[in-house]
Amino acid sequence: MARVEETGGDREENKEEETSWWSPEAVEGGRVGEGPSRGSRGDGGGDGGRPDTPPPPPYSDQVLENVLENVLQFLVCRRDRNAASLVCRSWYRAEAQTRRELSVGNCYAVSPARVVRRFRCARALVLKGRPRFADFNLFPLGWGARFSPWLAAMATAYPWLERVCLKRMTVSDSDLAFLARSFPSFRDLTLICCDGFGTAGLAVIAVLCRNLRILDLIENDVEDEEEEVIDWISRFPETTTSLESLSFECVNCPVNFSALEALVARSPSLRRLRVNQNVSLGQLRRLMARAPHLTHLGTGSFRPGIAEDLNVADLEQAFVSSKSLICLSGFREVAPEHLPAILPVCANLVSLNLSYAVITAEQLKPVILKCNNLRTFWVLDTVGDEGLLAVAKACKNLHELRVFPFEATEDSEGSVSDVGLVAISNGCRKLQSILFFCQRMTNSAVVAMSKNCQDLVVFRLCIMGRHRPDHITREPMDEGFGAIVMNCKKLTRLAVSGLLTDKVFKYIATHGKSIRTLSVAFAGDSDLSLKYVLEGCHSLQKLEIRDSPFGDVGLLSGIHHYYNMRFLWMSSCMLTLSGCKEVAQKMPNLVVEVIGDRPKDLDSDTVEKLYLYRSLEGPRDDVPLFVNIL
Amino acid sequence: MASYVEDTELRLGLPGSDALATRGSKRSLPEDDAAGDDSSCRNGGSGSAAKAQVVGWPPIRTYRKNSFQAMKVESEASGLFVKVSMDGAPYLRKIDLKVYKGYKELREGLDGMFNCFSQGEFSRKEGCNGSEFAITYEDKDGDLMLVGDVPWEMFICSCKRLRIMKGSEARGLESRH
């Protein structure tokens, strides 16, 4: 039965993605579900048909509804709220009145108008646009996911809006200006992997949002012409601010340091500060002196500026004074000899992000061996297997590990391998999430991890050389990934790589019943793989596939399941226009987009890029020329 | 899986002289002329230093890639140093492969360091005629290869260390040619 509902994913899903660096508070709460509503296509809601709009309820029922509202406002988790809204019409109305936080996982699955009509009192919005593969240049520029239409709808409907969190959306400077002007109570702005704005937009936010608490800019593509860079930091009002969190690592333009220092000095509530790499060590020390109660610090360059005479002891003193620090990041151009300055806080650290620090194992060891309470650790592969061994020895409480490649090319040397993975699996038994880039891996290492780390929820292994087998046995990596799905019963997110045959997908289909997100690249032998996955992975929400030999037969085998998914992405596979058309015809509530790099690519029968997603709205009206909706 | 067994077979011919069909036959994708296999620098022997990179692979955000760009430019400018060992010598040396234009200069440079070839004539393809030495190198896969088979540019991007073999081992290699 086709059930068009924006379900899927809850708190955990957001932790899985690369947003764990940003506080998850903004993501809690309600979500746009589609209960039985008038205006729908009649197949929403699974609890039987509902009559069309009835007359307003009698007075006694209204009282009951008010009572209900008072109770329901304590419900925060969006899954609970979705469930409550399906109980009956009265509960549906009460829930809609009291939902404060909306979470829309795909901005095209539902329209702003519909959202605003149902939920009248929202105070916070979490909105996601492009899917993850857009980060890797697979979506042409201008594909969509613009914030403007949402902003326009909310400006009239939610004048008391306080919080906005956007991921992979296009936000312009004028959007930011309009936001700043439209919502007098606005407090929290978090932008992750967005684009389209520059310092001009940030300046307006600084000036006009007088109640700003959170301004977190995380890995956005901030565009500014050289001459048009604006000193937005100095635009904050001169009075004491209510800032609690300020992150602008991705805004890579020179910083007016005295303005920044003054801003920090007049922000008594500031607890999280992440600066960009144009802040030197000496400057960092001054900032830390102004804000001794910081809990999260992004250190900028971590290198002395020109003509800065800074010794490690002085810097260390700054860290001794910052007794509340639990999270460190930055280290953009780290001068390794200064790294030991952070030793005083290591024992308290819960999160450490060294993934931009080009350091060796020897430079890492003295620091990591003191970080015994670390839960989250991101690092660069320059530390090698030896560095990972040290991590395994010291960080017994590690829950999340990410190892990024210094040289992100297929033929790079690669400094970490199966040896490091086994070491981690032996030492960090509580591991829940791992992202590991390497050039050499073995099945036995992956099997070892599957047995040692049974709490794994996220397993993402990227063997960078395409189609690489086990480097010792020369066999495909099927058995390793098979062991992961078999032994890690809590697994919800999986990314596979290396030489893989149809067999691994049979394992995934058989054992990966809880998997919600699956990423596949350069894998499989035939349509069987896709068929296995679509028929076996009952919890699958997001499936992203590239460069794998899957065609129309595989695609069509998912027809029974696509309404339960948020999206399917397939690029450089073997799909044809007729296959995709057939899916589009059979599934009216699915939007089937064929994307070409240029408009004329759409004329051919082979489909280079397919993006399909469920939607209540049908084809979107902002389709660019290089997209064809079937 | 038979396809990669063939890839790892020892042979003396120019790598890539067999058709890439063994790997490529698994699928027929437009990007497959740069089909992945374990030893890079194999495609067409064009001598390009790196094989054609595929869009968006490995899956690292541009933001992160760009962060290291400046650093990498520095390290490229600073040379490609590899260790050189010679059988019987008590310690190793390091040379910068970038300063040499080709195999001839490399041999001259090694000779200058180790005085190994001064007895024999130079030969382009094989080890040194009339001497007891052969120059070998370890490539990315850890295999021991004879220097001189592949084009120079391909060689410098896959060479991880050099080893000058002498005595009976070297003579064995020589005689195979």
Q: Which tokens belong to A234?
A: 């100095």
Residue type, A565: M
Inform me whether the pLDDT recorded for A36 exceeds 50. Answer: no
Provide the shortest C-alpha distance from residue A465 to chain B (in Å): 7
Nearest-10 Cα torsion for A576, A577, A583, A588:
160
Nearest CA in chain A to B40: A411
Within chain A, what is the greatest distance between any pair of CA atoms?
A: 77
What pLDDT score was predicted for residue B46? Answer: 37
- Least Cα distance to A357 among B167, B71, B152 occurs for B71
What number is the average pLDDT over the span A262-274? Answer: 97
Higher-confidence position of B35 and B171: B171
- Least Cα distance to A406 among A432, A387, A426 occurs for A387
Inform me whether the pLDDT recorded for B116 exceeds 60. Answer: yes
B 145-174 residues inside an 8 A Cβ radius of A:
157, 160
Q: Which tokens belong to B122?
A: 């130079």
CB A15 within 8 A of CB A351: no
The residues facing B169 across adjacent strands are none
The CA distances from residue A140 to A107, A135, B149, in Å, are 18, 11, 42
CB A512 within 8 A of CB A537: yes
- Band of residue A299 on the pLDDT scale cut at 50, 70, 90: very high
CB B85 within 8 A of CB B92: yes
Nearest CA in chain A to B26: A525
What pLDDT score was predicted for residue A605? Answer: 86
Inform me whether the pLDDT recorded for B52 exceeds 90. Answer: no
Q: Would the CB atoms of A405 and B60 count as touching at under 8 Å?
A: yes
Taking the Cβ of residue B5 and every Cβ of chain A, the question of whether any pair is shorter than 8 Å is answered with yes
Provide the shortest C-alpha distance from residue B26 to chain A (in Å): 7
Cis peptide before B30 (omega within 30 of 0): no
Provide the shortest C-alpha distance from residue B68 to chain A (in Å): 7
Inform me whether the pLDDT recorded for A470 exceeds 50. Answer: yes
CA pair distance A588, B131, nearest whole angstrom: 78
Inform me whether the pLDDT recorded for B167 exceeds 80. Answer: no
Residue type, A18: E
Average pLDDT, chain A: 88
CA pair distance B59, B56, nearest whole angstrom: 6
The residues facing A91 across adjacent strands are none
Per-residue three-class SS string for A226-293: HHHCCCHHHHCCCCCCCCCEEECCCCCCCCCHHHHHHHHHCCCCCCEEEECCCCCHHHHHHHHHHCCC
Instruction: Give residue for tokens 């209900």.
Output: A68
Q: Would the CB atoms of B61 and A572 count as touching at under 8 Å?
A: no
- Band of residue A55 on the pLDDT scale cut at 50, 70, 90: low
CA pair distance A499, B4, nearest whole angstrom: 10
CB A81 within 8 A of CB A33: yes
A 516-555 residues inside an 8 A Cβ radius of B:
519, 521-522, 525, 546-549
Inform me whether the pLDDT recorded for B42 exceeds 60. Answer: no
What number is the average pLDDT over the span A460-481? Answer: 96
The residues facing A543 across adjacent strands are A518, A568
What number is the average pLDDT over the span A346-360? Answer: 95
Question: Chain centroid to CA A524: how far?
Answer: 27
Provide the shortest C-alpha distance from residue A217 to chain B (in Å): 13
**pLDDT digit string, tens, across residues A557-578:** 999 999 999 999 999 999 999 9
- Band of residue B149 on the pLDDT scale cut at 50, 70, 90: confident
Provide the shortest C-alpha distance from residue A498 to chain B (in Å): 10
Inform me whether the pLDDT recorded for A366 exceeds 70. Answer: yes
Q: Would the CB atoms of B58 and A469 count as touching at under 8 Å?
A: no
CA pair distance A250, A240, nearest whole angstrom: 25
What pLDDT score was predicted for residue B172? Answer: 59
**pLDDT digit string, tens, across residues A499-539:** 999 999 999 999 999 999 999 999 999 999 999 999 999 99
The CA distances from residue A211 to A185, A186, A191, A235, in Å, are 7, 6, 18, 14
Cβ neighbours of A404 in B, within 8 Å: 60, 64
Inform me whether the pLDDT recorded for A250 exceeds 80. Answer: yes
Higher-confidence position of A269 and A90: A269
Inform me whether the pLDDT recorded for B60 exceeds 70. Answer: yes
CB B120 within 8 A of CB B130: yes
Inform me whether the pLDDT recorded for B3 exceeds 70. Answer: no
What pLDDT score was predicted for residue A54? Answer: 61
CB A391 within 8 A of CB A368: yes
CB A481 within 8 A of CB A504: yes
Taking the Cβ of residue B26 and every Cβ of chain A, the question of whether any pair is shorter than 8 Å is answered with yes
**pLDDT digit string, tens, across residues B9-37:** 555 545 544 433 333 333 333 333 333 33
Substitution target from B57, B138, B156 for chain A, most A beta carbons within 10 A? B57
For residue A354, what is the DSSP state?
A: E
For residue B93, what is the DSSP state?
A: E
Q: What percent of chain A clears pLDDT 90, i.e. is strictly above it?
A: 73
Q: Which residues contact A241 (CB under 8 A, 6 or more apart)?
A: A212, A263, A266, A267, A269
CA angle (A617 as vertex; A615, A621 as ends), nearest 5: 115
Inform me whether the pLDDT recorded for A433 exceeds 70. Answer: yes
Cis peptide before A24 (omega within 30 of 0): no
Q: What percent of chain B clears pLDDT 90, i.e. is strictly above it?
A: 2
